[in-house]
Amino acid sequence: MLTPKRLHLCALVLAISAAVSAQTVAANVPDAPPSTKNPVALPPQTQPDTDQLIIRFRDNASPVVVDKALSRLRTEKSEKFAYAKTTPDKADVFRFEKRKKKADWDKLSTWLKQLPEVEYVEPDYILNRMAVPAPVVPNDPYLNYQWSLLDAISGIHADQAWGYTAGRGSVVAIVDTGVLPHVDLLPNLLAGYDMIADTVTGNDGNGRDSDATDAGDYVLAGECGSTTTINSSWHGTHVAGTIAAAGNNAEGVAGVAYAAKALPVRVLGKCGGYTSDIAAGVIWAAGGTVSGAPVNPNPARVINLSLGGASACGSTMQNAINTARGKNAVVVVAAGNSNTDASQFSPANCAGVVTVAATGKNGGRAYYSNYGNVVDLAAPGGSMNTGATDGIVSTLNTGTQTALADTYKYYQGTSMATPHVSGVVALMLSANPALTPDQVESLLKSSVRTFPQPCASCGTGLLDAAAAVQAAVNFTAPVDPYAVLLSDLKKNRDLWRAQNLLNYTYVLEQKTGTSAALRLKLTVKAGVLTAGMNLATNKALSSRDLKAKGKTVEQLFTQVETAISSRYTTVKTTYDTAFGYPLDSFLDKSTSVTGDDVSLKASSLTKL
Q: Give the torsion through C-alpha atoms of 19, 25, 26, 27, to 10 deg.
A: -140
- The per-residue DSSP string of 241-297 comes to HHHH--SSSSSS---TTTTSEEEEEE--BTTB--HHHHHHHHHHHTT---TTS---S
CA 305, CA 534: separation in Å to the nearest integer? 69
Asked whether the beta carbons of 465 and 374 are under 8 A apart, the reply is no
3-state secondary structure of 14: helix
Which H or E element spans position 458? Answer: none
CA 27, CA 401: separation in Å to the nearest integer? 18
Q: What positions carry a catalytic annotation?
A: 176, 235, 415
3-state secondary structure of 431: helix
Q: Tell whether the torsion through CA atoms of 374, 377, 382 and 384 is positive or negative.
A: positive
- Tell me, what amino acid is at 111? W
What is the number of residues in the chain? 608
What is the per-residue burial (b if ≥16 Cβ within 10 Å, else e) of 409-445? bbbbbbbbbbbbbbbbbbbbbbbbeebebebbbebbb
CA 467, CA 261: separation in Å to the nearest integer? 22
3-state secondary structure of 472: helix
Residue whose C-alpha is closest to residue 412's, from 361, 461, 455, 451: 361
Residue whose C-alpha is closest to residue 425's, from 376, 359, 362: 376
Asked whether the beta carbons of 240 and 174 are under 8 A apart, the reply is yes
CA 452, CA 24: separation in Å to the nearest integer? 28
**Using alpha carbons only, how large is the chain's radius of gyration in Å?**
31
According to DSSP H, which parts of 327-478 are helical? 414-431, 437-446, 465-474
Sheet holding 528-534, edge to edge: 539-540, 528-534, 518-525, 504-512, 597-607, 582-588, 570-575
CA 412, CA 493: separation in Å to the nearest integer? 62
Sequence-distant (6+) residues with CB within 8 A of 256 are 149, 156, 158, 167, 242, 243, 244, 419, 420, 422, 423, 424, 426, 427, 465
Q: Give the torsion through C-alpha atoms of 283, 289, 292, 294, to 10 deg.
A: 100
Query: What's CA 581's distance to the chain center, in Å?
Result: 38
